[in-house]
Amino acid sequence: MNDVVDKEMIRRLHYVEGKSIRWISRELGFARQTIRKALEDAEPPMYHLRSPRPRPVTGHIREVLAQWVAEEQENKRHLTGERIYQRLVEEYGYTGSPSTIRRLVGELRRNAKETFIPLEFRPGSNAQCDWGEDVAILDKVETLVQFFCLRLGFSRMPFVMAFPTQRQEAFFEGHTQGFIFLGGVPLSITYDNLKTAVFKVLAGRNRIEQNSFIAFRSHYLFESRYCNTGKGNEKGGVENLVGFVHRNFFTPTPEASDWAELNELFLKRCLDYARTHKVPGSKMTVYEAWQEEKKHLLPLPPHPFPCYRHIEAKAARNQLVRFENNYYSVPPSCAGRLVVVRAYVHRVEIYADHRLVATHRRSYGTGEEIYDLDHYLEALYRKPRALEDAKPFHRADLPPVYHRYLAALKEHHAQPEKEFVQILMYHREVGWDALTLALNKALDERVYHAPGVRSILEQLTGKCLISQGTQDLSAYRVSRPNLKQFDLLGSCNNGRIVH
C-alpha cells in the first residue's frame, strides 16, 4: 500500500459498495492481509523500523556523549555543541559533521530531562529555608546584604530577614524571628546542605548534623529534611521566594538607617504580599491561608533559643580580646585571663567568671579595635599623662564639651588630666547624659575641679554620689589574718596584760 488514498479506496469498496476482500485483492492487486489491516484502521499508514539503522560514524561515540550529558545534569555545567564536537575530534578522532553531533546531543538531553511531581502540603506540615544575597543602602552606605528566607508550604506565607552574614548565629536568629512572626513552628523544614546545619553529607539523604544545630532543632522540636546534593529545586517554593525578593524587595535598592529599619520594611512587604496574592489552586489569599495554618503549627517554647556562638579567648595586657580578627576591650581585671566571648549577630558579649564584663557592637571588618573608654579609666588615672594620646579616649567620640572642659582644667589645675579622669568616672553613677549637662553647667559657673562637678551632679540628679575609687577593686586581694596573734592578748607579765 503506497499511501492513504489506496487505504481509503479499499475501505470505500468494502464498506460502501459491498465488495469482498477476495474481489478487492483480485481487482487492485493488494494482498488480503494488507486489505484486512486497512479495514481495521483508518489512520494513515506508518512506517516501522524492524531493526535500528546502522550508524557507522556516531555509533561508537554515543555512549561517550550519553556520559557527558549525564555529567552535565549532575554538575549543572552545559557544554555547547561546538565544544562537544571539538572534544570528540581531539579525543576520539571523530570524522563526522558538527550538525550530526548537535542533533544527537539534543536527543540525549531530551531523554535525560528531569520531570517534576506537583506537591501539596498539609497545614503546618512543612516549611522551606534558604539564603539570598543582594545590595541595600544602610546609613547612606551601599552594603552587601544576606537575606534569610523561610516559607510555609501550605499557605506560602513568606518571612524575610536581612543580616550582615550567613554565619550560624544569623541562621538561628532568622529561624527564631521567623517562628515568632509566623506564629509557631512547622513540623518539618527542608534545607539544602547548608554548612551551618550539616557537618558532613553522607550517601543518599543521610547527614551528620552540627551539634549546635541539633540543639537548636531540639529546642523547637521540628524535623529537618535535606535536598539531594545539587537538587535545590526540591525546595522550589523558597527558591521562587528568593527570586521574588530580588525582583520586588531589592528593586529599587532599599534604603534604611540601620538593620532594624530594613527588616521592618521587609516584614511590611511580606504582609503586603500575603494580602494581595492567592495560594495557587485556591481561592484563599496567602494571608487567609496563613491564619488557617497557624492553628496547626507547633507552639513556641517559653523562651527563645540563645542565638550566639561562644569561644574562649585570652585578654591581652592592653585589655583587648581578639575575636574573628577584630579586637574588643575588657576591664583591667580581665587582662591576662581567659574570658568567654558570646557572638550575636549585631553585638559581642564578653564574660569572666560567669559575669558579663563587656558589651560591644560586632564588627565584620578586619583588624578593627573597638574600645569602651570606661574600661581604661583606672589605668588613665594611674598614668594621666597618657590621656591625650590614648586610643580609647580618641575613639570615645565624646561631645565637644568634654574637650572644652579639659582645656579649661589645664589652665586652672595643677594635674588637669588626673582630675579629668576622676570626673569621667562619675558617669558610672549618673550616666553620660547627666555628666554632659553637669560639665556644661560647670563651664558656665567656672567650676574647675572634680568635687565641684560632683556637687553639680548631685543638684541635677537629686542623689548623693559615692566618691569614686581610683583603682579597679576587683584586682585587690585581702590577706587572711593570722589568728595565732590573738593568743598574745591573753599573755601576762607580772599580772599585767602585755600590749
pLDDT at position 321: 96
Nearest Cα residue to 344 out of 131, 177, 189, 185: 177
pLDDT at position 199: 43
pLDDT at position 28: 84
Burial class of residue 268, CB neighbours in 10 A (0-12, 13-18, 19+): exposed
Q: What is the dihedral of CA 80, 82, 88, 94, to 10 degrees?
A: 150
pLDDT at position 146: 96
Total Cβ atoms within 10 A of residue 328: 28
The Cα-based distances of 449 to 157, 380, 443 in angstroms read: 63, 17, 11
pLDDT at position 474: 44
Total Cβ atoms within 10 A of residue 107: 13
pLDDT at position 39: 83
What is the three-class DSSP state of 151?
strand
pLDDT at position 132: 93
Cell of 489: 592578748
Q: Which residues pair with 148 in a beta bridge?
A: 131, 161
Q: What is the pLDDT along the chain (499 residues), one digit of tens a residue?
A: 456 777 778 888 888 888 898 898 888 888 888 888 888 876 766 655 555 555 555 556 777 777 777 777 666 667 777 788 887 787 777 777 888 778 887 777 776 665 555 666 789 999 999 999 999 999 999 999 999 999 999 999 999 999 999 999 999 999 999 999 999 999 999 987 666 655 444 444 455 667 888 889 999 999 988 875 554 455 567 888 999 999 999 999 999 999 999 999 999 999 999 999 999 888 899 999 999 999 999 999 999 999 999 899 999 999 999 999 999 999 999 999 999 999 999 999 999 999 999 999 999 999 999 999 999 999 999 999 999 899 999 999 899 999 999 999 999 888 899 999 999 999 999 999 999 999 999 999 999 999 999 999 999 988 887 755 444 444 444 455 565 655 655 554 444 444 4
Name the H helices within 93-199.
98-112, 168-182
Asked if 25 and 35 touch (Cβ cutoff 8 Å), the reply is: yes
